[in-house]
Structure 1
Amino acid sequence: MSKFVRAAQTSQSLSLAAMEEASRLGLREADIEHMFLAMVINDQSAGRALRSLGIDLDSARRAVEKQHEMQLASLGIDASFPEAGRIVFHETDGYEWSKRASDLIAKSGGKGKAGDAAAVLRELVAEPSGLIADILDHLGTTPDALLEHLEQFASPGGAAMPAAAKVKGRTSVSIETFACAPMEAVWELLADPARIPEWEPGIGVIDHASRDATPGTVWQGFAPTSYPDGKPVKVRPKFHRRSIELIAAHQPGSIAWSFGYPDAARSNPILTEFALVTTTGGTQLQIRKSWSRRHGWRGLIALLLRPIQKLFVWIALFQTGSAISRTFR
């Protein structure tokens, strides 16, 4: 993976997680403390380094809250921040980075720097305000100790799972994500057909979702009629109905679902596969979408459009991974 792609994907994942954390407090601007919280649940080496030090999302949130309270007290202000609620980022808009946070991300991808989460974390702990150092102190560690520990997870992007095998005649795109929950809990989410709308953005309702989930069973789903923010979704009639088939289920390590468009004659079903492994602080997931390649002149057109197609599939994967992560936060 190129440095540019790695930096772009890192920025995207950190931005989403940080702004989700800010949204719990009713904020529209994500700052460096929210970036730190996003680091704790990051799937790359930076997140694994933090979690291996015993820093989980709950303890990190408490440390940030305590530091904010101490800052107010130092100003002679006897007050507390509003109690955090649920994540509402996906239901609202108008979010942005603070200037120092956006500058920090840009700096992490500068000359001689990898632009991955580890590079962002190095810039974060060196940030001159000392805020992150104070938060780390509440968590029982120091910037130097964290950076030394980070070197043990040094590979760029630090994949914790083996790459999925390529299948002849199929095109695939995959990502990794982290969920701060036990593997069994993540499995239960992914194996329950009634909960598919929680992580598959293209499905809003499923018929007969209470039926037993056994391989070969097929359900019928329908596209959502509105976005989480209430705005209506425009869907072409032939893409309104979905077929959903459970292809394989090996508890608790892997599961695969096939999603098709029965009213779109020339569409190919998309196979969505999940591989789960237990890791420090939760579960590491590999999510892969794959589909059969076309042949003949349609195959030539598909080949020319493949980079664009892969981009859209990556966006869908990113949305799925983010939804899974959000479920357990």
Structure 2
Amino acid sequence: MSRFTRYATTSQSLSLAAMEEASRRGLREAGLQDLFLALTLSDQSAGRVLRDLGITIDAGRTAVEEYQKEQIASLGINASLPPAGDIVLPKTGGYELSKRARVLIGRAGEKGRTADATAVLRVLLDEPSGVVTDLLERLNTTPAMVIAGLDHASTATTQNSKIRSRRRGECTVVNESFVPASINEVWALLSEPERIPEWDPMAGTVETTIDETASSPTTMENHKPSGEKVQVGAAWTVHASTTYPDGKPLRVQEKLRRRTLEVLHITPPSRISWYLTYPDAITNPPMTRTFDLAPTTGGTHLTITMTWAQRQGWQRLLRPVLLPPRRFLTWIMVNQTRDTISRAFR
């Protein structure tokens, strides 16, 4: 991954997480506190160092709440903050980073810095307002302890997507991330068919496979899990969502409104592979989406791998033209899936 790509993907993921945290408190502007909270969710060495020091997203949120209460009291204002709620981005829009937060992320990408989450955290620790120092004190930590942890941490590859070829005729996008939930909680989300719309941004409703003895399929909206284990070869029909998260209509081509998801591999609770095809668009190449889970400090290390078959026959002549946009769209899908899974546990 190039330095520019590393900086762009890191700043995008941290900015989004920071704005999500601001949305919980009814704010449209994400400040330094929110950027700090975003760093506790990073799968890069910066996030791992914070979590190893006991600074999880929940602990960080408590520290931010206490800090804000004291700031209001110091102004002589006798008022209480409304309780934070659920993340409402992307159901609502109009969010942005504060100017100070944007400047700090920009400094992390300057020449001489690593342009990753570690660079953002180091710059944040040097920020003169003392906001992060105050938060660290509330978390029984000091900037020196964090810096020592960063210095000790081995050089790590950034989170975010890597694109590479695996086998001839295939291309793969891989994303590594941190999920603030136990491996069993994440496994339940990713392995239960009725919960597919919770992690697949494009999924609306799910139908069970059609039983030849049944008169009609059963939608998962009205279907309770039977408790049976998901088996390799089991398949479900997924209907595309017809609205964006904010409720606005979403136009989907007729041939792409129906997908089939089949279990290709399953090893509880560490791996599940879903094989995706479009029965109404047989020329669309199938895609495999694999989730690998491993326990880590404060949550779960999640690796998402999307692999698609490249076109064969005479259509292979179009690969030089079609492959770049296909890779980019898959990269977007991977990142959207990652973000949706993270939000499900926050």
The TM-score normalised by the length of structure 1 is: 0.96
The one-letter code matched in structure 2 to 1:109 is G
Hey, what does 1:309 align to over in structure 2? 326
Matched residue, 1:269:
286
Residue 19 (structure 2) pairs with residue 28 (structure 1): no
Answering whether residue 303 of structure 2 is matched by residue 286 of structure 1, we say yes
Distance 1:175 1:59 in 2: 26
The answer as to whether partners of 2:116 and 2:158 remain within 8 angstroms in 1 is no
Partner of 2:266: 249
Q: What's 1:7 paired with?
A: 7
Residues 151-300 of structure 1 mapped to structure 2, 5 A cutoff: 151-157=151-157, 166-208=166-208, 209=220, 210=225, 212=228, 213-300=230-317
Q: Which residue of 1 aligns with 2:212?
A: none
What is the DSSP-based 3-state SS (H/G/I as helix, E as strand, rest coil) of the residue aligned with 2:90?
helix
Mark the CA change 1:300 to 1:165 in structure 2 (over 3 Å): closer, same or farther: closer
CA distance in 2, matches of 1:276, 1:164: 21
1:165 positional shift: 9.1
Q: Does structure 2 conserve the Cα–Cα contact (< 8 Å) formed by 1:117 and 1:157?
A: no
Q: Displacement of 1:304 after TM fit?
A: 2.5
1:122 matched to 2:122? The reply is yes
Partner of 2:289, secondary structure, is strand
Greater shift in the superposed pair: 52-61 or 65-74: 65-74
Paired residue type of 1:39: L
The answer to whether residue 109 in structure 2 is matched with residue 92 in structure 1 is no
Provide, for residues 44-101 of structure 1, a one-character-per-residue CA deviation record: whole Å limited to 9, x for no partner.
1110000000111111001011111111222222222210000001101111110000
SS in 2 for 1:219: strand
1:36-115 → structure 2 map (5 Å cutoff): 36-115=36-115
Q: Percent identity?
A: 47
What amino acid is the match of 1:11?
S
Bigger mean CA deviation after superposition, 86-95 or 302-311: 302-311
| One-letter identity of the residue aligned with 1:38 | A
Which structure 1 residue ranges, 4+ long, deviate > 6 Å from structure 2? none
- How far residue 164 of structure 1 moved from its aligned partner, in angstroms, is 9.6
Contact 1:218 1:246 in 2 (8 A): yes
Displacement of 1:156 after TM fit? 4.2
- The answer to whether the Cα contact below 8 Å between 2:239 and 2:259 also exists between their aligned partners in 1 is yes
Q: Within 2, Cα distance between the matches of 1:154 and 1:172? A: 26
RMSD over aligned CA atoms reads 1.7
Cα drift, residue 292 of structure 1: 1.1
- Letter aligned with residue 63 of structure 1: A
Q: In the superposition, relative to structure 1, how do residues 155 and 282 fare at CA in structure 2: closer, same or farther (>3 Å)?
A: same
Aligned counterpart, 2:339: 322
Distance in 1, matches of 2:118 and 2:324, equals 28
Q: Which residue identity is paired with 1:299?
A: R
Q: SS where residue 294 of structure 1 aligns?
A: coil
> How far did 1:241 drift?
0.7
Shift of 1:207: 0.7
Q: In the alignment, is the contact (CA less than 8 A) between 1:114 and 1:156 conserved in 2?
A: no
Which stretch of structure 1 is more off in the superposition, 165-174 or 85-94? 165-174
**Any stretches of 5+ residues in structure 2 without a counterpart?**
209-219
1:203 shift after superposition: 1.2
Report the Cα distance in structure 2 between the residues aligned to 1:158 and 1:201, rounded to whole angstroms: 24
